[in-house]
Amino acid sequence: MKPVTRARSAWRTRRAPFRCLGDNGGVPLDTAASAELFARARAVTPGGVNSPVRAFNAVGGTPRFIRSAAGAWLTDHDGNEYVDLICSWGPMLLGHAHPEVMAAVQTAVARGTSYGAPTEPEVELAEEIVARTPVERVRFVSSGTEATMSAIRLARGFTGRDVVVKFAGCYHGHVDPLLASAGSGLATFAVPGTPGVPASSTELTLVLPYNDRTAVEQVFAEHGDRIACLITEAAPGNMGVVPPEAGFNAFLAETCTKHGALFVSDEVMTGFRASRQGQWGLDGAVEGWRPDLVTFGKVMGGGFPAAAFGGRADVMGHLAPEGPVYQAGTLSGNPVATTAGLTTLRLATEEVYDHVGRAADVVKTAAAEALTAAGVSHTVQSTGTMFSVFLTEGPVRDFDDASRTSAAGYAAFFHAMLERHVYLPPSAYEAWFLSSAHDDRAVQTVVDALPHAARAAAAAMGGEA
């Protein structure tokens, strides 16, 4: 954990003693190798990417094909280095290629990679999750999408009801009934829903504005006895970071209980990321309530495809083979993936969260200062160590507010950062992620690039700003 201790003293006091990558004299980066790979990719893969937000459709330009990553840095096929502010969209809390995680994975790989039989790392990872979060039982799956899909099936099976309530702008993976008014790539590309999802599947989904207690009360008053569950991001991060207002999650939990519905807290993004105990560590653990079901992914997989759902023992007891609700997976609880997740969580101490939180504070403060200096309307919102920057006046309380962020301003901002070796999410609707490997040099590279990006945004927004 060297970077954690090394970086502690330095940020605010010292100016960059190292070669500043951002000072490239305005010479554009070479992207020939990425462009060539992108052309080949497009010939064999829709849009050239295996997940839509990786494309640069919303910001324009050539997506960078990454050859390797170490610590806080990505290296693309042209040899350009970037400070990574995506961290694989959340998972890489310890930075890339963490030596202890790599060593544990290599040991696990040498023992064979999948047996289709239970293993010790699964038990240990489940124990770690139960120890840190409000869940009593856990079932592993391979993606966050599977986790929310399974949680909803279980909620329906447990309650014998069909209706699911969600919030506009919350993304829960590409699960048919949850794609109604979702965030993430759907917000980025202004896709209101998606073809291929039958109306019968979204008919049973009721979508409400986030942070709106009256809307929740009304929908439960009207449909309470048909609602199987309410699912929400524990703190939305897929429309940018829109924190729950004080007591909102507690109110949701209480409303669900009152009406015999389950409260499903989606912590795929926030789990082991917003804090050591996820978003729940910031509200439920303090206020003394628990969700009925929780979904996890991202950080708990340590960069491998592993995710989970868990919750109350009596509810989880309805899952096969203990109960009648069927759910399964060939690679669920894969020994290499669970070893990576377990090693990551064991290394993710309070010290790691303190470090990530401090690094995030420096970056978000510098971003706000740069945008203010450039005269750009903005608001920076955060929950725990997660934050995002909206190019619109705040506060941003729900998806309608988030939608006012300037797409043109963000595209200019994004490319100015990229030219200065900072890799932001290629979408205005995503959180920015740091890691315990973001040391002085990485953070200073971001801080130095921000004023240029803010001026680029101001120019692109013209009269708007």
Residues of this chain that interact with ligand PLP (CB under 6 A) are 143-145, 148, 171-173, 233, 238, 266, 268-269, 297, 307
Rg (CA), the chain: 22
Contact 184, 257 (CB under 8 A): no
Is-contact 170 236, C-beta < 8 A? Answer: yes
Reduced to 3 states, what is the DSSP secondary structure of residue 416? helix
Residue 75 near residue 68 (C-beta atoms within 8 A): yes
Nearer Cβ to ligand PLP, position 171 or 432?
171
Pairing of strands 163-167, 227-233: parallel
Query: Rounded to the nearest whole angstrom, what is the least distance from the CB of residue 342 to ligand PLP in the complex?
Result: 18
Q: What pairing do the DSSP bridges indicate for beta strands 422-423 and 73-76? A: unpaired
Nearest of 365, 432, 357, 441 to residue 6 by alpha carbon = 441
Cβ proximity to ligand PLP, 80 vs 145, nearer residue = 145
Cβ–Cβ under 8 Å, residues 375 and 454? no
CA end-to-end distance (rounded Å), the chain: 42
Which residues have CB under 8 Å from 232's CB, separation 6+? Answer: 166, 167, 170, 210, 249, 252, 264, 265, 266
Helix H or strand E segment including 200: helix 199-202
- CB atoms inside a 10 Å sphere around CB 331: 16
CB of 283 to ligand PLP, least distance (A): 16
Q: Which residue is nearest to ligand PLP (CB)?
A: 144
Provide the annotated active-site residues: 171, 266, 298
Specify the 3-state DSSP secondary structure of 350. helix
Name the nearest CA neighbour of 56 among 85, 79, 35.
Answer: 35
Which tokens in the block code for residue 320? Answer: 């096969």
> What are residue 23's DSSP bridge partners?
none
| Cα 140–chain centre separation | 18
Tokens 């961290």 correspond to: 87
* Angle formed at CA 142 by CA 138 and CA 145, multiple of 5 degrees: 90
Please check whether residue 355 is in contact with residue 8, taking contact to mean a CB–CB distance below 8 angstroms. yes
Across the beta sheet with 73-76, the strand order is 66-70, 73-76, 81-84, 422-423
Q: Quote the CA–CA distance of 150 and 115 in Å, as a whole number.
A: 23
Phi and psi for 225 in degrees, rounded to 5? Answer: -80, 0
CA distance 62 to 26: 18
